[in-house]
Amino acid sequence: MKKEDLTQDGGALSKLTRELCYVKNSNGKYETELSTGWETKKVALENAWEEIERRKKDALDLVNSGKKSPIYYFMEEKLMDLTVLSGYTGFSKWRIKRHFKPSIFKKMNARKLQLYADAFEIHFTEIQNFDRS
């Protein structure tokens, strides 16, 4: 791509970061140039963030309706999955799934909650006294 053809459409992250691209200058030599993005990438990022927000809302609804524990919500909020959360906490995936059950969650001790809190970078009382109404 020629330097003058480099797209500068902007996007969700254009004020925070730029993308490094290789372009040909007027002499035909490659050099680097910064781009604020292009429309296709902007749309893809917006769709991804909409999906993340939908998943967080669904998780909140499940916690508020008593179907899941707050651990499930924080996993979604912090953009984690079972594998990542397992790696941070040391709990196996099946044990984390058990901790999603409100009846099991209510019996959890402070040491286990602290492992989750450390993974989510919050105080364990935020998990214990969950309120996102």
pTM: 0.76
Look at 5 and 100; give whichever has higher pLDDT: 100
Among 11-15, 40-44, 68-72, top mean pLDDT goes to 68-72
Nearest to 126 by CA among 56, 28, 118, 37: 118
Distance between CA atoms of residues 84 and 63, nearest Å: 21
Closest to 17 (Cα-Cα) out of 32, 36, 1: 36
Domains and CATH numbers, the chain: 3-37 (no CATH), 52-128 (1.10.260)
Residue 45, CB-side half-sphere exposure with 13 Å CA sphere: 11
